[in-house]
Amino acid sequence: MAAHAFDLTGKAALVTGANTGIGQGIAVALAKAGADVALVARRDPSETRQLVEAEGVRAHIVMADLSSIEPCQRIVEETVAAFGKVDILVNNAGIIRREDALDFSEEDWDAVMDVNLKVLFFLSQAVARHMTGWSSQDGARGKIVNIASMLTFQGGIRVPSYTASKSGVGGLTKLMANEWAAKGVNVNAIAPGYIATNNTAALQADETRNRQIMERIPEGRWGDPADIGGAAVFLSSSAADYVQGHILAVDGGWLAR
């Protein structure tokens, strides 16, 4: 292992859903470690770009709607055009729809599965085809980091397509690791616990639910996007070269209870 195993200087990262929340936290953490970062988003990620560039590295915006696989190849091509290659892919983009399982619609099922699972796989495939073309040449390894969920391990309620998709992310992470490890690509996942972002603002504001959540977390606090960023840096670095098919829970101990 190199003396500076967590150093990502000279690496090119691609982060989906990078305009806010966990995606922004991951993009900034990768930048702090030295990586240039391509920011894939449906809404303008200019704030994230400013935060990334403030770390003295390059940022490149790729506007894309990940409700279908149509932009997957273009995302890779634009990133390669900007940075010369893709060393790191973080599949962070995701959506959720809430409804009782008895009343859940096909539309809400398909929308979530398309973004959270189908696009994740086909973007990973497009990036891995690029990575396997160069990774064995100099011993460098490509890194794919998927964002899973506590619902990769648990069932949850009123989110059937989200639970199915995130369970699928766990399985695909292992499948891709099995196939691509020997080709010079590491594939792992992070399962965030309760993270304080704009997406969880309603839960934080609900006094009863917030208390229930906090009582179960041994750490005694909500997570910060930077907590997920640290895990992403590890899995994207040479420090994790022998980590394959792992789902790393960053949850303050939620699953331990």
Angle ∠(62,234,162) on CA atoms, nearest 5: 60
Q: Among 121, 162, 180, 234, which one carries the catalytic annotation?
A: 162
Q: Which amino acid does the sequence have at 141? A: R
Strands (DSSP E) contained in the chain are 12-16, 36-41, 59-63, 88-91, 142-147, 185-192, 247-250
φ/ψ (deg, to 5) at 223: -75, 160
| Active-site annotation holds for 194 | no
Cα(250)–Cα(217) distance, integer angstroms: 11
* CB atoms closer than 10 angstroms to residue 69: 16
CA distance 137 to 147: 28
Listing DSSP states for 80-106 in one string gives: HHHHSS--EEEE---------GGG--H
Tokens of 28: 């900034």
Handedness of CA 200, 19, 233, 138 (dihedral sign): positive
Catalytic residues: 162
